[in-house]
């Protein structure tokens, strides 16, 4: 049976806001969705994937990355536009897609009556699946007003008279989940790079809309299991500033999740639920890094990753 790694992460408390881009409007907005009866802000899975790839590119651990971010160009540089999931960790873990239109040859007259050729697509589905990050508390509509720096011109080259713009700001934590089946990777040891990255990423984004918001875990739940379903995504709740995991505790008590398959770490470890889960047999750690090192040792042993065991 295949092993599966599932995780649910809640970030530290911070202020989320997009930097002003080159737009004509006066309000810089955050992405939002309707969640459990209220409007919440959200960060896309693609922004988290960008941050993971950027970690691999800059962490100095020897990961080869195909799609590398170029700060000077504010765009990506491809090392191999034809992809190589044997060589590059991002091609293997995150997948890729390249669509090419059909080539057109000959005159319009010569093409009459011929069957139209189809374009080609080179694609690999990502092995790592990431959910959207959703704010722990509803968005109340906070806006800050800021003045533009320097001389701003309109489309006709005339100085703009309105130099104020508004930015939506949300003081909150975010939670998101992920799933990975290492047997689907060309190199199963790359599961270690995924764990290191998701527990170390900082800012999320990918273009001029990046903002500094620490996306490393304040609390973390990991599950290493043969079960095909995670069963605990979005398990964190916040009330009066306190984070809890009542649904996770209920599922363990009901027998839907084996306690010894869980690694629970961070601030949540010192909660009542964290202590109860430890009594039930879960692996509970106050430190995030300590918990990750523990689960990596188990993964290395189960997958016969000799260099990491």
108 pLDDT exceeds 80? no
pLDDT (0 to 100) of residue 207: 43
pLDDT-derived band at 208 (thresholds 50, 70, 90) equals very low
206 pLDDT exceeds 50? no
Task: For residue 266, give the nearest of 137, 175, 171, 179 by alpha carbon.
Answer: 175
Instruction: State mean pLDDT over 87-116.
Output: 77
pLDDT (0 to 100) of residue 28: 66
Instruction: State mean pLDDT over 121-127.
Output: 87
Contacts of 30 (CB under 8 A, 6+ apart): 16, 17, 18, 41, 42, 139, 168, 170
Q: Average pLDDT over the chain, rounded to whole?
A: 87
Alpha-carbon dihedral sign for residues 52, 172, 285, 221 = negative
Task: For residue 299, give the nearest of 190, 159, 218 by alpha carbon.
Answer: 190
211 pLDDT exceeds 70? no
pLDDT, one tens digit per residue, over 50-97 is: 999 999 999 989 999 999 999 888 889 999 999 999 999 999 999 998
pLDDT (0 to 100) of residue 124: 86
pLDDT-derived band at 149 (thresholds 50, 70, 90) equals very low
pLDDT (0 to 100) of residue 248: 98
pLDDT (0 to 100) of residue 160: 58
pLDDT-derived band at 156 (thresholds 50, 70, 90) equals confident
pLDDT, one tens digit per residue, over 6-45 is: 999 999 998 888 754 444 455 568 889 999 999 999 999 9
Instruction: State mean pLDDT over 277-302.
Output: 97
Alpha-carbon dihedral sign for residues 142, 147, 150, 151 = positive
Strand segments, DSSP code E, in the chain are 4-11, 14-16, 27-28, 32-35, 38-43, 67-70, 75-78, 96-100, 120-124, 129-130, 133-135, 143-147, 164-168, 170-172, 174-180, 217-225, 237-239, 242-244, 262-266, 283-285
- How far apart (Å, rounded) are the C-alpha atoms in residues 211 and 25? 19
| 194 compared with 117, residue with greater pLDDT | 194
Buried-exposed string 181-207: b where 16+ CB fall within 10 A, e elsewhere: bbeebbebbbbbbbbbbbbbbeebbbe
256 pLDDT exceeds 50? yes
pLDDT (0 to 100) of residue 152: 59
Torsions phi, psi for 259 (to 5 deg): -60, -35
Most confidently modeled range among 105-109, 172-176, 200-204, 210-214: 172-176
Q: How far is CA 301 from CA 11, 110, 296, 309, in A?
A: 29, 63, 9, 6
């Amino acid at each position: 049976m295949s092993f599966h790694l599932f995780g649910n992460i809640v970030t530290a408390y911070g202020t989320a806001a997009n930097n002003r881009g080159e737009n004509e409007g006066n309000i810089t907005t955050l992405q939002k969705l309707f969640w459990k009866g209220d409007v919440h802000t959200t960060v896309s899975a693609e922004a988290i994937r960008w941050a993971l790839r950027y970690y691999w590119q800059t962490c100095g651990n020897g990961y080869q990355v195909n799609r590398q971010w170029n700060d000077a160009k504010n765009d990506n540089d491809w090392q191999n536009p034809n992809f190589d999931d044997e060589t590059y960790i991002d091609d293997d873990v995150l997948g890729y897609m390249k669509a090419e239109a059909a080539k057109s040859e000959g005159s319009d007259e010569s093409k009459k009556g011929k069957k139209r050729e189809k374009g080609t697509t080179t694609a690999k589905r990502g092995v790592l699946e990431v959910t959207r990050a959703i704010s722990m508390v509803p968005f109340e509509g906070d806006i800050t007003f800021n003045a533009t720096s320097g001389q701003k011109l309109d489309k006709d080259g005339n100085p703009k008279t309105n130099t104020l713009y508004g930015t939506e700001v949300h003081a909150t934590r975010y939670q998101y989940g992920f799933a990975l089946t290492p047997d689907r990777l060309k190199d199963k040891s790359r599961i270690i790079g995924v764990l290191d990255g998701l527990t170390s990423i900082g800012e999320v984004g990918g273009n001029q809309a990046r903002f500094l918001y620490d996306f490393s875990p304040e609390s973390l739940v990991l599950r290493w299991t043969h079960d095909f379903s995670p069963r605990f995504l979005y398990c964190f709740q916040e009330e009066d500033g306190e984070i809890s995991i009542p649904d996770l505790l209920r599922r363990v008590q009901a027998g839907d999740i084996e306690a010894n398959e869980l690694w629970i770490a961070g601030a949540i470890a010192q909660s009542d639920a964290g202590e109860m889960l430890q009594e039930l047999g879960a692996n509970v750690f106050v430190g995030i890094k300590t918990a990750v090192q523990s689960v990596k040792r188990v993964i290395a042993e189960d997958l016969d990753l000799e260099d990491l065991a």
